Amino acid sequence: MRGDEHPLTISLSTDELAGPAQELPRLLKERGQELILHGAFVDGERSDWAFASEAAARDVAEGRAGQAIVCCWTGTGASIAANKVRGVRAALCLDAQSAAGARRWNDANVLAISLRATSDALLREILQAWFETDRSDDEDDLENIAHLTEMERRA
C-alpha cells in the first residue's frame, strides 16, 4: 500500500461483470483496500463505460478515493473517460511494466484495465506493480507532472 498509514480507498468501476471485473473486488479487499463501487457493480447505477468511469474518476478528483480502477472491454474508453476529469491521470496498463511505469514516471492515480485482454494471472501482476511502485522523485519526472497540471489549468 506504498506506506500509507490507513488502507487506501479505491473507487472501482466496470461496464460489465466479465473477466477481471469478477475478481477485482476480492483481490483488492485481500490487499486491505476499501472500495467504492460504480457501474455494473451497483444495481440501478448506469454502467456504460463513460458514465461508470467518470464516477470512479470523480471519487479520486473529489477526495473520496485515493485511486481508482476503471474497466471496459478494451480499457481504452474507460481511460479516455477518466482522463476527462480534472486532476485525474489515468493509464491503460496491459502488463506489469506499464503499470509500474505509470505509477513511477506519470504518478498515475487511475488504472484502466481491459476486460478482454487481462487474464487472472496478468491482473495480479498488474495490481502488484501498481500498488508496490512509488512515484519517482526525479526532478525531470516531477517537472513533467507539474506541466500536466499546468496544461490542465489552462484548458
Q: Residue 109 has what DSSP assignment?
A: -
User: What beta strand segments (E) does 74-132 contain?
Assistant: 90-92, 110-114
Q: Which residues are catalytic?
A: 72
Beta bridge partners of 35: 10
State how far Cα 9 lies from the chain centre: 11
**Chunked mean pLDDT (size 10), the chain, 155 residues:** 56 97 97 97 97 98 97 98 97 98 97 98 98 95 94 91
The CATH topology of domain 9-154 is Ribose 5-phosphate Isomerase B; Chain: A, (3.40.1400)
55-60 contact pairs (CB < 8 A, 24+)? 55/11, 55/13, 56/11, 56/12, 56/13, 56/82, 56/110, 57/11, 57/81, 57/82, 57/83, 57/84, 57/85, 57/88, 57/90, 57/110, 58/85, 59/11, 60/11, 60/85, 60/87, 60/88, 60/109, 60/110
Dihedral of CA atoms 85, 115, 51, 97 in degrees, nearest 10, equals 0
Question: What pLDDT is recorded for position 155?
Answer: 86
Question: What pLDDT is recorded for position 1?
Answer: 34
Extents of the domains making up the chain: 9-154
How far apart, in whole angstroms, are the C-alpha atoms of residue 65 and residue 44?
21
